[in-house]
Amino acid sequence: MPKPKHHILVCTNARPPGHPKPSCGGQGSAQLLMTFNMGLMQRGIMPGEVLVTGSSCLGPCEQGPTVVVYPEGTWYSKVTEADVATILDEHIKGGKPAEKLNPDSIWK
């Protein structure tokens, strides 16, 4: 398998119902993971060219769902299914972080 051009990590960490700390899993990130995979297929991006991986907690639970795109190390917070197309078209295909999604704002 050739080295992928990009690796998209989607936090899918879930906490039990009623837990005081929010989680990405409780905010629909499992569906988000599927939406990324479907979006890659719809755009004709070959398997292995971009990896999409579910991850455990990435840390900023209050800002979830959290998505990180490597190799750039760009973090997106509060990602919705509608944002997936923007990330795929502007960042993955276009080569630049999706500015309208305020990338890396979690660190500001």
- Percentage of the residues of the chain whose pLDDT score is greater than 90: 90
Sign of CA dihedral 88, 94, 99, 104: positive
Confidence of residue 107 (pLDDT cuts 50, 70, 90): confident
Each residue's pLDDT tens digit, 68-87: 999 999 999 999 999 999 99
pTM, to two decimals: 0.94
pLDDT of 24 > 90? The answer is yes
Q: Is 55 exposed, middle or buried (0-12, 13-18, 19+ CB in 10 A)?
A: middle
Each residue's pLDDT tens digit, 38-74: 999 999 998 899 999 999 999 999 999 999 999 999 9
**Token code pair at residue 17:** 């119902």
Confidence of residue 4 (pLDDT cuts 50, 70, 90): very high
Sign of CA dihedral 42, 43, 49, 55: negative
User: Which residue's entry shows tokens 């599927």?
Assistant: 34
Confidence of residue 1 (pLDDT cuts 50, 70, 90): confident
